[in-house]
């Protein structure tokens, strides 16, 4: 067609930087961030991010350079999610539960030029920098974030020699800085390391376009309206704070930052600031449900709580509902910018936690495919395939790992590694992680998630994880359950197996139950590979009578 | 950064076609369209649009070809907004109030290969095709949409020889048709002719990307949530139905189609179908406010009503509010995909109808600039400049009119031709259309909109338009008001001028008031250029005493 143009008037690369600029204009006087006694307006946040971007540029940062950050959910970290991209750079938010060698590895892998560190983690990062120096590699420049909320700076807040402090950095910057926008909306904005439950963490890179569209998708998924009050209980470093860093700015909302998400801090914040939304790991539900009565405060209005991960027991869920929270459950992964789908747990059959429904607006496709033929499995609710995704809200790939990137994107789809079925109504139902599925050698693929859901519904069970256990005289595996009981509760392994009978087909009944603590990784997920080793080691214990039927090992 | 890929898994060209596919999947059984006794589900609408796209392809339509449509708000027109793009083609929805020569001109300008016409307009289009044939040009193929809602097909619904009927076309199509998606999201999806109030209509071309993002922007602007019930009172051919054609699909909502938007049809539809949203021209407000009591039906719940254009008198607004409607006012234009901004009229000072606020999410920038220097005017609430826009929700340009396109897009901004000021709080306030502003020769730029707002607040005035009137012995212009009185009301021109005194500064008082009918164009806008000619012709009438002070001409 003739007469048309694509120019900077009618084509602007999609970037969440626009959300901040608009918030400063439309919601300039409204509160952007609250953290203890600290309180900023959107105009101030915009101004601070401009100074931050300006100072970073002055330090010699170039387009595409990486800035790392290690901090809890404090205002400075929120500002970094805007200020670093506004300098044309890429932010790598690091998990505060990592150790020095892993931090050293990730800083080197991303070639971070600068690392901004909360005072609480300075010693840890100094150790990591020693590891890097010992390897004769170039260390990133250290910027320390001192915490105004802690009153006078304590000795833990001293700035090591040769380092800058964050506020000093901001003072260097000029608020009339000209933002270095992406030339192409597919340029990277953040690196998000996976938790590494199946090996070394991989750096999932998000683009400006992807996070812009996913911020909008989050607003739809959470049915948020203008000026929400968002309580930061999800880690900002986790999938870029599930993109709420940017989505809250798009809506001119208020960010309530807390250093430690204790039950008291959560209830206080909700009551004081009229919080409308919070989200995070399922342990938040436990925290709320098990909060001492003295921590409780009435909810000022509807509070939406979205959790991602395995569902905690029904009892916990019911308790949180009774307290007035509106709980939803999300399915997602780092590679899909956190969430694929969110479903309410209010009206649904919460005993079936793995019927995940379908994708929300902006995701182009969710399917279950045979990974060899790439054809959709029949919609019979039985045939298992791999859950696959397509859309603009997926990562650009794994940083410096083209093999892993190419393995993830197969013939136009992203393979999640999760197993699922297609129900006759077209809905996708998750069955298990591919690597965790138990194949019993008789043609059955057993979903450990389904067994875990039944175990979790036992009144004495706090948490449960099931892995496959190989037996020497059998070709397949049997389910081996690791169960942590609630404090003050008791149940034998045999009782737990009996509890499952009738709720599960016989071939899915746990062959063994091991009571005890469960090994967790830094994100609160259970380390199944540790349990698999444990299960292997159990082998010989049960071979007294030649083969094993529901053998039980207590406190193994 | 290494390790990243841009592939069909993580990059899908933005297109509203995805909204329909998702609606068919997520809301498959939910009602998509209601029209009289006709009722479709989203699965059926998807299926019908696939067949439509398939049939169009079979007819030899190629990527980028234009299909024109001339129809009221009926299901077939809604389907064309999806089916035509799904065939890779571009839809040109034509104004049903145009005459045959203008239709002939627009069909030729867009080189439409096919024109789909509602039975009501077949004779009109046949006349237009005769004009095209007479010019020895190639006529588009005619498809007649018969109206199942009208019971047995009447003689007006007969299909002219050599033509197809729309249902027959659909029967030709295959529902397993592979959609011809845009290769680039900036490819055109619709041509939208301006009303031509300042000359020949220009065809504003929208891209897949622009309408995808604007559909989302509309959802934000109207604060719509999942499954709205949308009553079609805005013409679908008007800015592609302000993108609600696609936005309703994105939310799995229900489209309530009515052939004629009478007050009875509006109240009945709202009551019967529990309508949540409707929009259109300000005359809808008049229609509702002046509806006979026998047409009234109680509103089942909150009904959001957005109008775009000049505001009707306060009295009308108040009446509509009293009936329970939640009214908002929008500022926009065809080139900006209809709307720049929407503001509620509930809590605001509705006596100030031209304080337009600022842009909504997804528009990158709204500013008031000196069109020569392209610098923002000072935010003093006084200095007048041109309102300019930037963002992804603007047209790609005017079809086959690169001069007009280039004139519209100037140094990174789209010039609206509207005059405005920047208030000290940063907000943009509209003053007037540039071409309509009155320059009094003493350095004052007089906003005709402000005078019109005061005139409209007179209890006897139904509508008013003000233009500049040149006097032979003066270098500048004076405001000349054309006023239509309400039926049964009377007021003299002098009374009207007295009414304005005190409400307007002296230099803005109308110099003359002409009572009578107002000339309207096909979109319901007042033809100011006709009034300007009239005002010119008045000149000699008032020159008895050498110069003119508030001379009044009644029924001129």
Round to whole Å and give the CA distance between A329 and A279.
10
Assign B479 to helix, strand or coil. Answer: strand
Of the listed ranges A16-25, A439-448, B90-99, the one predicted with least confidence:
A439-448
Q: What pLDDT was estimated at residue B524?
A: 63
User: B10 vs A361: CB contact, 8 Å cut-off?
Assistant: no
Are A381 and A465 within one domain? no
In a domain, B169, yes or no: no
Identify from B1, B16, B27, B194 which residue to disrupt to test chain A contact, counting A C-beta atoms within 10 A and taking the largest count.
B1
Question: A303-308 and A325-333: which strand pairing?
Answer: parallel
Question: How distant is the Cα of A367 from the closest Cα of chain B, in angstroms?
Answer: 12
How far apart are alpha carbons B288 and B296 in whole angstroms? Answer: 9
Residue A476 pLDDT more than 80? no
Q: How far is A392 from chain B (nearest CA, A)?
A: 5
Query: From CA A404, how far away is CA A410, in angstroms rounded?
Result: 11
Average pLDDT, integer, range B86-96: 97
Of A22, A216, A402, the CB nearest to B2: A402
**A325 bridge partner residues:** A303
A309 or B551: which leads in pLDDT: A309
Q: Across residues B171-184, what is the average pLDDT?
A: 96
Angle A81-A86-A88 from CA coordinates, rounded to 5°: 105
* DSSP designation for B547: S
Instruction: Flag if B2 and A400 touch (Cβ within 8 Å).
Output: yes
**Which positions in chain B touch A398 (Cβ < 8 Å)?**
3
Average pLDDT of B503-521?
85
Q: What is the pLDDT of residues B460-476, one digit of tens each?
A: 998 899 988 876 666 67
pLDDT beyond 50 at A546 = no
Task: Domain of residue B481: give its range.
Answer: 441-542
CA dihedral sign, ordered B375, B378, B383, B386:
positive
Q: Which CATH number fits the domain that encloses residue A109?
A: 3.40.50.12780
Q: Which of A64, A358, A414 has the CB atom closest to B26's CB atom?
A: A358
Is residue A313 in some structural domain?
Answer: no
Domain boundary among A209, A235, A263: A209
Q: Give the tokens for residue B392.
A: 């992804």
Task: Tell whether the model's pLDDT for residue A445 goes beyond 50.
Answer: yes
Q: Are residues A467 and A498 in the same domain?
A: yes
**Beta-carbon neighbour count of residue B375 at 10 Å?**
10
pLDDT of residue B272: 97
* Mean pLDDT, range B426-451, rounded to an integer: 74
Do A42 and A191 belong together in one domain?
yes
pLDDT of residue A344: 67
The C-alpha atoms of residue B159 and residue B169 are separated, in whole angstroms, by: 13
Residue A186 pLDDT: 98
Q: Are residues A460 and A530 in the same domain?
A: yes
Choose one of A436, A453, A475: the last residue of a domain: A436
B508 has a pLDDT exceeding 60: yes
From the list B526, B328, B523, B352, the residue with the least C-alpha distance to B430 is B352
The confidence score (pLDDT) of residue B198 equals 53
E-strand spans in B363-460?
363-369, 385-391, 397-398, 409-410, 413-422, 428-433, 438-439, 445-446
| Residue A341, in any domain of the structure | no
The minimum CA-CA distance between B413 and chain A, rounded to whole Å, is 5
| Cα–Cα distance for residue pair A527/A289, rounded to 1 Å | 24
How does the average pLDDT of chain B come out, rounded? 86
What confidence tier does B23 reach under pLDDT thresholds 50, 70, 90? very high
Mean pLDDT of B406-425: 88
Best B4, B18, B185, B376 residue to mutate vs chain A (most A CBs within 10 Å): B4
Q: What is the CATH number of the domain that holds A490?
A: 3.30.300.30
Q: What are phi and psi of A140, to 5 degrees?
A: -70, 155
Specify which of A257-261, B282-286, B311-315 reaches the highest per-range mean pLDDT: A257-261
Residues of B in contact with A205 (CB under 8 A): 1, 3-4
Asked if residue A501 has pLDDT above 60, the reply is yes
Average pLDDT over residues A442-454: 78
Mean of pLDDT over chain A: 86
Does residue A370 lie within any of the structural domains? Answer: yes
pLDDT tops 60 at residue B552: no
One domain for residues B424 and B394: yes
User: Does the structure's ipTM exceed the value 0.90?
Assistant: no
Would residue B469 count as lying in a domain? yes
State the nearest Cα–Cα gap between A374 and chain B, in angstroms. Answer: 13
* pLDDT at residue number A308: 84
How far away is chain B from the Cα of A414, in angstroms, using its nearest Cα? 6
Are A6 and B250 a contacting pair at CB < 8 A?
Answer: no
Cα–Cα dist B233/A198, whole Å:
56
The predicted model gives B194-211 an average pLDDT of 84
B353-412: per-residue pLDDT in tens? 333 444 566 678 888 999 889 999 998 988 888 889 999 999 999 999 999 999 999 889
What pLDDT shows up at residue B331? Answer: 80
In chain A, what residues touch B3 (CB-CB under 8 Å)? 205, 397-402, 404-405
Indicate if A64 and A194 belong to the same structural domain.
Answer: yes
* B374 shares its domain with B446: no
pLDDT digits (tens, 9 = 90+) for A122-136: 999 999 999 999 999
Both B432 and B459 in one domain: the answer is: no
Choice among A336-340, B29-33, B487-491 with the minimum mean pLDDT: A336-340
How far is the C-alpha of A549 from the C-alpha of B53, rounded, in Å? 60
**Which one of A417, A436, A455 terminates a domain?**
A436
pLDDT value for A13 = 97
Assigned domain for A117 exists: yes
Residue A208, SS3?
helix
Report the pLDDT averaged over residues B450-456.
86
| One domain for residues A393 and A465 | no
Q: What is the mean pLDDT of residues B148-163?
A: 68
Task: Please tell me the distance in Å from A88's CA to the nearest CA on chain B.
Answer: 13
Q: Who among B4, B361, B404 is closest to A22 (CB)?
A: B361
Residues 6+ apart with CB under 8 A from B117: B69, B70, B71, B125, B142, B143, B144, B145
Q: Which of B22, B361, B392 shows the shortest C-beta gap to A361?
A: B22
Q: Lowest mean pLDDT of A195-199, A244-248, A253-257, B527-531, name the range.
A: A195-199
- A150 class by beta-carbon count within 10 Å (0-12 exposed, 13-18 middle, 19+ buried): middle
For residues A425 and A503, state if they share a domain. Answer: no
Read off the CATH number of the domain in which B367 is found: 2.30.38.10
Clarify whether residues A150 and A192 are in a common domain: yes
CB contacts, 8 Å: A394 with chain B: 9-10
Q: Which of A3, A88, A356 to substitute to test the interface with B, most B CBs within 10 Å?
A: A3
Distance of CA A529 to the CA centre of its chain: 20
Residue of B nearest to A205 (CA): B4
Q: Which residues of A touch B390 (CB under 8 A)?
A: 8-10, 12
Please tell me whether residues A412 and A374 are part of one structural domain.
Answer: yes
Q: How confident is the model at residue A440 (pLDDT cuts 50, 70, 90)?
A: confident
Residue B220 forms part of a structural domain: no
- Report which of A460, A459, A433, A462 is spatially closest to residue A448, judged by C-alpha positions: A433
Average pLDDT value for residue range B191-217? 87
- Kindly determine whether residue A390 and residue B226, on different chains, have CB atoms separated by under 8 Å: no
| A22 occurs within a structural domain | no
What would the pLDDT profile of A316-365 be if each residue is shown by its tens digit? Answer: 888 999 999 999 888 888 998 887 777 666 544 443 333 344 456 667 88
Task: Please give the average per-residue pLDDT across A57-84, as a whole number.
Answer: 97
Nearest CA in chain B to A247: B361
For chains A and B, CB pairs below 8 A equal 145
Interatomic CA distance for residues A138 and A136, integer angstroms = 7
Domain total of chain A: 3
Per-residue pLDDT of A511-542, as tens digits, reads: 889 998 888 766 567 778 788 888 877 754 54
Closest residue on chain B to A361 (Cα)? B250
Percent of chain B topping pLDDT 70: 87
User: What residue in A sits closest to B336 (Cα-Cα)?
Assistant: A10
């Amino acid at each position: 067609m003739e007469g048309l143009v694509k120019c900077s008037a009618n084509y602007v690369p999609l970037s969440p930087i626009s959300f901040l600029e608009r918030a400063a204009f439309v919601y300039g006087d409204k509160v952007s961030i609250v953290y203890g006694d600290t309180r900023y307006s959107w105009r101030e946040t915009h101004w601070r991010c401009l100074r931050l971007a300006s100072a970073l540029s002055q330090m010699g940062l170039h387009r595409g350079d990486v800035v790392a950050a290690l901090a809890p959910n404090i205002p400075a970290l929120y500002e970094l999610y805007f200020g670093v991209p506004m300098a044309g750079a890429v932010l790598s938010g690091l998990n505060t539960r990592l150790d020095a060698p892993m931090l050293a590895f990730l800083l080197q892998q991303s070639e971070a030029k600068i690392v901004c560190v909360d005072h609480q983690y300075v010693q840890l990062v100094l150790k990591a920098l020693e590891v890097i120096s010992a390897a004769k590699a170039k260390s990133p420049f250290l910027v320390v974030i001192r915490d105004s909320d802690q009153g006078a700076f304590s000795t833990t807040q001293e700035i090591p020699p040769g380092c800058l402090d964050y506020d000093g950095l901001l003072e260097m910057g000029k608020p009339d800085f000209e933002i270095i926008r992406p030339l192409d909306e597919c340029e990277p904005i953040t690196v998000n390391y996976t938790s590494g439950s199946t090996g070394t963490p991989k750096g999932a890179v998000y683009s400006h376009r992807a996070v812009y569209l996913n911020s909008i998708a989050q607003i739809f998924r959470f049915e948020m309206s203008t000026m929400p009050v968002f309580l930061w209980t999800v880690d900002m470093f986790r999938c870029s704070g599930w993109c709420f860093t940017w989505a809250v700015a798009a809506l001119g909302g208020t960010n309530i930052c807390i250093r430690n998400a204790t039950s008291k801090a959560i209830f206080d914040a909700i009551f004081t600031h009229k919080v409308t939304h919070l989200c995070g790991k399922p342990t938040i539900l436990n925290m709320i449900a098990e909060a001492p009565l003295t921590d409780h405060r009435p909810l000022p209005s509807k509070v939406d709580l979205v959790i991602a991960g395995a569902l905690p027991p029904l009892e916990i869920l019911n308790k949180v509902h009774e307290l007035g929270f509106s709980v939803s459950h999300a399915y997602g992964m780092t590679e899909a910018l956190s969430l694929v789908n969110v479903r309410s747990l209010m009206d649904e059959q919460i005993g079936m936690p793995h019927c995940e429904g379908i994708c929300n607006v902006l995701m182009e496709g969710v399917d279950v495919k045979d990974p060899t033929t790439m054809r959709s499995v029949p919609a019979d609710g039985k045939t298992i395939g791999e859950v696959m995704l397509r859309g603009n809200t997926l990562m650009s790939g794994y940083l410096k790992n083209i093999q892993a990137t190419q393995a993830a994107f197969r013939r136009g789809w992203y393979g999640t590694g999760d197993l699922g079925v297609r129900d006759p109504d077209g809905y996708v139902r998750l069955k298990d992680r591919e690597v965790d599925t138990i194949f019993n050698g008789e043609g059955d693929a057993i979903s450990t998630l389904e067994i875990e859901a039944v175990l979790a519904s036992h009144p004495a069970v706090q948490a449960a994880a099931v892995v496959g256990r190989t037996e020497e005289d059998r070709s397949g595996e049997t389910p081996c359950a690791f169960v942590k009981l609630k404090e003050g509760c008791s149940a034998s392994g045999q009782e737990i197996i009996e509890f499952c009978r009738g709720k599960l087909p016989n071939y899915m009944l746990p062959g063994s139950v091991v009571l005890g603590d469960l090994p967790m990784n830094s994100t609160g997920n259970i380390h199944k590979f540790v349990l698999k080793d444990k299960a292997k080691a159990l082998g010989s214990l049960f071979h007294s009578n030649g083969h094993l039927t529901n053998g039980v090992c207590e406190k193994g």
